[in-house]
Structure 1
Amino acid sequence: RESRVDKALQLFDKMRKLGFAPDVSLYDVLIGGLCKNKELEKALYLYSEMKELGIYPDVGILTKLISSLPREREMIQLIEEMQEDLDTEAMTLLYNSVLNGLIKNGSINKAYHLLRAMMGDESNGDTEVERLFMIKKFVQPDTTSFGIVIDSLCRTDKLDLALALFRDMDQIGCKRSLLLYNNLIDGLCNSNRVEECYELLREMEELGFKPTQFTQNSIYGCLCRREDVAGALDVVREMRVHGHVPWIKYSTLLVKK
């Protein structure tokens, strides 16, 4: 079955035959669609073609390609081609796309070590990607960088590593976000570590973050699984104060008991 991207490519060819000159935004859309469809060969062909035409690829195109590439060496080649022309902010965006790419490829430990290297920590230098970024001192991780890695660590039950990274954000003056707190609280609740969740909840409230329905239901669900009726009811009362509703899938756990 012909995809929408294939139809877009056909239209792209017709446009060029009629004399229309493609620009960077058009290549961005096409390369993004091909990356989404995992048609990387075609995406890389368009990337090479635009450079031959003298069209300068923007950061959006580079991040789409890097986060979709299956091999580290290919990621590095793209970065090496463009790094001299990019500012600090753009390099951080590329760095985040490398983290995404490594995690998509199942290399969570490599992503963790790369982030640690960028924080200035001692590194084991186990990937070419890491060594490249160790040279580029001006590339500094941001809140998004930490979010990418911490979320993947939470999803793979590497909570102690996730918490250590979270605590170390202060070292480089990186601000924590509500999303980070929610992901950590949910991960801890799924591992029955509810006491630590309460610590994080107090901390986030002190920083001015209000618990969301997701935050409170994560804790509520953990207490329901523990059959802690009193604790669960306390959370429900607190939820009502914030206008939140307990999720039925957790409430039924108490009813069944």
Structure 2
Amino acid sequence: MDRDETTRVTYAALQAGARPGGDVTVEGGGIVRGADLSNWTVEWLAFDDAMSALDDVLPRRLKRGRAGREIPQFVDCDFSGLTCRAFDPGIGRFVRCRFEDVDVRLNVGTTSAHFEDCAFSGRWEGNLDARRNARDPARRTVIRGNDFTGCQGVGLQGGVDRTANTFDPSLHLPLWRGDPKWARIREVAAEDTYLHNVVTSIEGQGPFDLAQDWAVLHRDLVDDDLWARLQQVTAA
């Protein structure tokens, strides 16, 4: 990507109605509240922050960045219909925001941005990771209270509380190592390479770096028979 062709705007400009297309970086910090950002189509989108170079090397307790100041914060904003093939939300905070009917792919497959009480639907290709980004002064990344009904592709990892978010039974099947039927789940999963990899990753053996004892299985990644059998096992 030729970064020389990137359009650079501020968060204040987004609040005021700017919706540039192409490759976009939003710079600085601050808070965006109640903004209608719906049906935004952008090729590449990055939400930067105003953390200083010194903050990057200071230990967490000494970092000076705060949400809504140096770290961008979106509150009650509507991103519905967002179309973006490479999205990097950085260490931004999203509170009660709507990401409905989106078609989004995370730029590097994983983000440490904070999402709280947000609604997701459509396709969101990438993982929300609760492990703290080294640049983030927060102890952990907050991922809770979100509704993923109708959302395909999203993954959660890094220590997200398995009971803290809402999933869609028609699309998602949470698999938990502490399930009393875990031995049976392992037997069914052994019949499929992908499912086997999910189970061994939940058990901490990889190949996926989940860093937690559960994962969300997506309906479109397994065949009908295995999906039905796993539903029966977990519901028993």
TM-score (norm 1): 0.30
Asked which structure has the greater CA Rg, the reply is: 1
Q: Comparing both chains, which one has the higher relative contact order based on Cα–Cα distances under 8 Å and sequence gaps of 6 or more?
A: 2
Name the structure where helix makes up a greater proportion of residues: 1
TM-score (norm 2): 0.32
